[in-house]
Structure 1
Amino acid sequence: MSYLLATWDLYRSALSATMRSFRLGWIVALALVLFLGIMMIATTLAAPLGIAGGFILGAVNALVIGATLFLFELAVKSTRPISLRDIQESFGKYFWDVIGVGFVLWIPLMLLDQGMAANPQGAFLATAVFFLLFVLLNPAPEVIYQLRHDSPLEVMKASYEFVLENWIEWFLPLVVVIGPLGLTFFFTLSARLGRGAGLDFTQLLVLPFTALTAWLAQLGVPEELSTLLVLICTPPLTVLMFLFRGHLFQALQGSSRRQRLYKTLHRQ
Structure 2
Amino acid sequence: MSILKDLLLVNKSTLKKTLKLFMSNWIIVFTGFVYTLLNIALMIVMNVIFRIPIIRFFSGIVSFIATSAMISNYLYLLSQIIRYGKVTLQDFKEGFTVYLWKIYGVLFIGWAASFLFDRIIAPLIYSINLSLAGTISFIISFLVLVLVNALPESIYQKHYSAWDTVTYAFNFVKENWIEWFVPNIIMLGLFYLVTGNVIKDVLAISSGFFFNFSIKGILLYVIGQIMFSFIMIYRGILFDVLSTSTRRKRAFMQHLYK
TM over 0.5: yes
1:60-75 residue pairs with structure 2 within 5 A? Answer: 60-75=66-81
Give distance in 1, aligned partners of 2:191 and 2:90.
40
Question: Displacement, 1:46?
Answer: 2.4
- Superposed CA offset, 1:163-187 (max 9, x none): 01101111112322455899xxxxx
Instruction: Flag the 1:200–1:233 CA change in 2: closer, same or farther, 3 A.
Output: closer
The root-mean-square deviation of aligned C-alpha atoms, in Å, is 3.0
Is 1:99 equivalent to 2:99 in the alignment? no
Amino-acid identity (%):
24
Matched positions, count: 241
Give distance in 2, aligned partners of 1:35 and 1:137.
24
Give distance in 2, aligned partners of 1:11 and 1:229.
29
Give the 3-state SS of the residue equivalent to 2:233 in structure 1: helix
Is 1:198 equivalent to 2:203 in the alignment? yes
101-110 or 83-92: bigger deviation: 83-92
Q: 2:114 maps to which residue?
A: 109
Give distance in 2, aligned partners of 1:26 and 1:163.
29
Question: Displacement, 1:9?
Answer: 1.1
One-letter code aligned to 2:88:
S
Is 1:141 equivalent to 2:152 in the alignment? yes
One-letter code aligned to 2:95:
S
One-letter code aligned to 2:96:
F
Unaligned runs of 5+ in 1: 183-187, 211-223
Question: Displacement, 1:32?
Answer: 2.7
Q: Which has the higher contact order (CA 8 A, sep 6+)?
A: 2
Give the 3-state SS of the residue equivalent to 1:201 in structure 2: coil
Is 1:232 equivalent to 2:222 in the alignment? yes
Instruction: Flag the 1:125–1:51 CA change in 2: closer, same or farther, 3 A.
Output: farther
Do the aligned residues in 2 keep the contact of 1:100 with 1:152 (CA within 8 Å)? yes
Give distance in 2, aligned partners of 1:13 and 1:236.
20
Instruction: Flag the 1:180–1:146 CA change in 2: closer, same or farther, 3 A.
Output: closer
Give the 3-state SS of the residue equivalent to 1:129 in structure 2: helix
Give distance in 1, aligned partners of 2:32 and 2:189.
27
Give distance in 1, aligned partners of 2:205 and 2:122.
22
Give the 3-state SS of the residue equivalent to 1:120 in structure 2: helix
1:99-178 residue pairs with structure 2 within 5 A? Answer: 99-114=104-119, 115-116=121-122, 118=126, 119-149=130-160, 151-178=161-188
Do the aligned residues in 1 keep the contact of 2:82 with 2:237 (CA within 8 Å)? yes
Q: 1:19 maps to which residue?
A: 19
Give distance in 1, aligned partners of 2:41 and 2:34.
11
Give distance in 2, aligned partners of 1:116 and 1:159.
26
Give the 3-state SS of the residue equivalent to 1:91 in structure 2: helix
- Superposed CA offset, 1:5-49 (max 9, x none): 221110111111111211232212222321221122112332463
One-letter code aligned to 1:28:
I
Give the 3-state SS of the residue equivalent to 2:107 in structure 1: helix
Give the 3-state SS of the residue equivalent to 2:245 in structure 1: coil
Q: 1:30 maps to which residue?
A: 30
One-letter code aligned to 1:198:
L
Question: Displacement, 1:113?
Answer: 3.0
Q: Normalising by the residue count of structure 2, what TM-score does the alignment of the two structures yield?
A: 0.82
Give the 3-state SS of the residue equivalent to 1:61 in structure 2: helix
Unaligned runs of 5+ in 2: 51-55
Instruction: Flag the 1:156–1:38 CA change in 2: closer, same or farther, 3 A.
Output: same
Give the 3-state SS of the residue equivalent to 2:90 in structure 1: helix
- Superposed CA offset, 1:108-133 (max 9, x none): 20232344363431111111111111
Give distance in 1, aligned partners of 2:72 and 2:22.
19
Give distance in 2, aligned partners of 1:181 and 1:62.
25
Do the aligned residues in 2 keep the contact of 1:27 with 1:83 (CA within 8 Å)? no
Q: 2:5 maps to which residue?
A: 5
